[in-house]
Each structure stands twice: as C-alpha cells, then as structure tokens.
Amino acid sequence: MSLPLVVREDLADAVRSKMVWGLVGAFVLVMAVLGVGLSAGGQADAERFMVFFASVGGELVIPVAALVVGYLAVTGDRQSGRLRVLHGLPHSRRDIVLGKALSRGVVVVLATLASFAAGGVVVAAVYAELALETFVGFALLTTLLGLSFAGVAVGVSASTATRGRAMAGAIGSYVMFTLLWEPAVAGVHYAVEGSLAGLDAPAWYLGLKGLSPIAAYSRVADSLFGQHVSGLVGWSRMVEDVPRTALQGDALAVSNRVAGEVPFYLTDAAAVAVLLAWAVVPVALGYRRFETADL
C-alpha cells in the first residue's frame, strides 16, 4: 500500500497548491484568446484554430506547464527535509519516485483534459462547426505531450539535490528540445553528408529529428489535421536547404520527403512510442540516480 499512499499524498498537495486550477485557467485563457483572435481576424475555422494551438501549445504552453508541475516533485521535498520523513516511513525510494511521477502525471492529465473540455465549449461557441473526433484526438495527443514533459521534469527532479539545479535542468531540457535539437541533428547530417538536408533528406535524419517529443507531437498532429504543423521556432526554415515555397504547403510532411514506403520509425505509431518513452525513461534514469543519493 506504500505506492498508493505516496500518490494520494502528493496529489492532495498538488491540488491544495491550486496548481491544477492555475493550469486549467491558463489553458482555457490561451484557447479563448486564440479562438476569439482568429475569429476576429476573419479566420473563423475550428480546424485552423486547432492547428494554430498545436503550434503554440506544442512548443510553449504544454511543455512549460508540465515542467513547472514536475521539476520540484522530488527535489522540493528533498531540500525541505520532508523526504527524510517519507523515507523513514514504509516508503521505498522506488515508491517515492514512482509515486511522484504518477501523481504529477495525473495533475497534467486532469489539467489538460479539463481545459480542453472547457476550451471545447469556447471553441464551439466561437465557431459554427467543430469536428468532435478530431478535437478529442487532439486533446489526447496534447495530453500525451504533457505526460512526456512531466516525465522529463520528474526525472530531473529525482536526479538533483537542490531547487536551483532542478530549475536549471528543467530550463535546459526545454531549451534542448525547442532550440538545440534540430540544429544538432542538422549538424550530424552535415557531418555525414557534407551538406544541409533538403526535401529529399535521408530517412535516418528524419528519424533523429523525430526523437524529440515536440517533433513526435508535430508528426502526429500533421496526420491528424492533414497538413504540416509548424511551430513557433520553425528551425526547419533555418537549418534545412528547402525552397521557401515548400514552407507554405505540405512538402515538409514525412510522407512527401521519403521515397517509397515510409519506414516504421517514421510512422505515427512510432511517434506515439517516442512520447511514451519520454514519459517513462527519464523517470527510470532519475530513479537510478536517486537510489544511491545521500538524503
């Protein structure tokens, strides 16, 4: 019964801190502002709104919110001394890390789904038509992205001893996925091929790009909406040798860049597996560090 106790206690703490309500409010506010703004701009189309939110939410709102939820999950209790009390109870270190990961994951899931439920009302009120199946799929996909970043945050928290290091790890992981991942992969391609990647980039290059949770999210969103979802940073415009006209259409979609049959590791199923891996693997690695740490 140790693990369920850790989950319940940590979840209760998170709810009492008003974290869930703050995230729900922030998500709904972003949805409302985007929905009303696009409608006022003459772009009254529910799918266009969701594509735009996928761009904004996929690189900013969801990752930042999930990192904030999880980066102090273990470190906060460790630095305050509460972790020594928990460890003195019949809680193993595995129970503590896994319980924190599960509880923070529940927070992200509840916040995301509740905000999409409320946001769906806002979108339905602003736009005449809303494809329910697409909206639900988009909500589940966005929830999975949040879980992946929550896993990264809890893994960082379990690996660090102070709040400062945990914050630096959370910020560093965000910078890595949004600013450094694509340039680094482009650098690998340049080192191997002697040139920047073009529209006919090799499959292994697209596979390396797709190992980022943000890129995996965008890949599934591309399929969900039937068009290329470009993010805020848009590194592909700067680190790939592609015609400017290609950025306006769907030429950057994986199916249009790989000759012949698309390899499994470039499919939507593989992208979902990448998101799941980021939700689990960092927690496991963090536990390995935490297992031998001096509390």
pLDDT at residue number 170? 94
Quote the CA–CA distance of 100 and 104 in Å, as a whole number. 6
pLDDT at 45 over 90: no
pLDDT at 56 over 90: no
Quote the CA–CA distance of 148 and 279 in Å, as a whole number. 4
What are residue 240's phi and psi, to 5 degrees? Answer: -125, 145
Section 216-242 average pLDDT: 70
Please return the burial class of 171, using the count of CB atoms within 10 Å of its CB with bins 0-12, 13-18 and 19+: middle
pTM, entire model = 0.87
pLDDT at residue number 126? 74
Section 207-228 average pLDDT: 86
Please return the burial class of 98, using the count of CB atoms within 10 Å of its CB with bins 0-12, 13-18 and 19+: buried
Token output for 244: 């400017």
Quote the CA–CA distance of 269 and 216 in Å, as a whole number. 10
Q: Give the confidence band of 228 by pLDDT, cuts at 50, 70, 90.
A: low
pLDDT at 113 over 60: yes
Section 233-251 average pLDDT: 57
Rg of the chain on CA atoms, in Å: 20
Percent of all residues in the chain with a pLDDT value above 90, rounded to a whole number: 26
Please state the domain extents for the chain: 1-286
Please check whether residue 64 is in contact with residue 232, taking contact to mean a CB–CB distance below 8 angstroms: no
**pLDDT tens-place string over residues 168-205:** 999 999 999 988 998 899 899 889 988 877 777 788 88
